[in-house]
Each structure stands twice: as structure tokens, then as C-alpha cells.
Amino acid sequence: MEQLQRALRELPVPLRHAVIGAVVLGVPGGIVGLVTGLRTYVPTAWFAILEVGVAAALSGAVLGLVVGSLVCVYHYVHDN
């Protein structure tokens, strides 16, 4: 766990927020995809995990990148 925290701390702020956003939205997206896939057609449930999970992770990464960029701008404006 410490290695993960250290690795995240070493990333630039926008990238750190993008990674966190991708995980926070990607994991629930994968779970929703699994449930959807199992309820519709079991043999292709793995594809539903990818279809929904990757889209959610990408959305989370973009949202996290925007938030991280805003945090950087905020710190830049208030430090000067």
C-alpha cells in the first residue's frame, strides 16, 4: 500500500487525479457491466464488463484530468 501511495505522490497533480478518477469510475463501471452482461446473455458477459468498464474508466480519467488541471491552476494563481 505504501508503494502505491508513493507512486501516486510522485505523479503530477493532473495525472494523479486522472488515475484516481479512472479507478473510482472504472471499477463500479466494470461491476455494472458484469451485472448487465449476466442478466442479458451470460456467454458474452465478459465483453459487457469491458464495454461498460472501459467507457466508465475513460470518463473518470478525463474528469480527473480536468479536476487535476483546475487544482494546478488554483495553486498557481494563489501562490503568486
Instruction: Report the predicted TM-score, pTM, of the whole model to 2 decimal places.
Output: 0.87
Spatial separation of the C-alpha atoms in residues 2 and 13, rounded to whole Å: 18
Q: Write out pLDDT tens, residues 13-39.
A: 999 999 999 999 999 999 999 999 999
- In whole angstroms, how far apart are CA 3 and each of 6, 13, 21? 5, 17, 19
Answer whether residue 39 is part of any domain.
yes
Answer whether residue 8 is part of any domain.
no
Domain that holds residue 65: 13-79
Averaged pLDDT of the chain:
95
- Domain count along the chain: 1
Answer whether residue 5 is part of any domain.
no
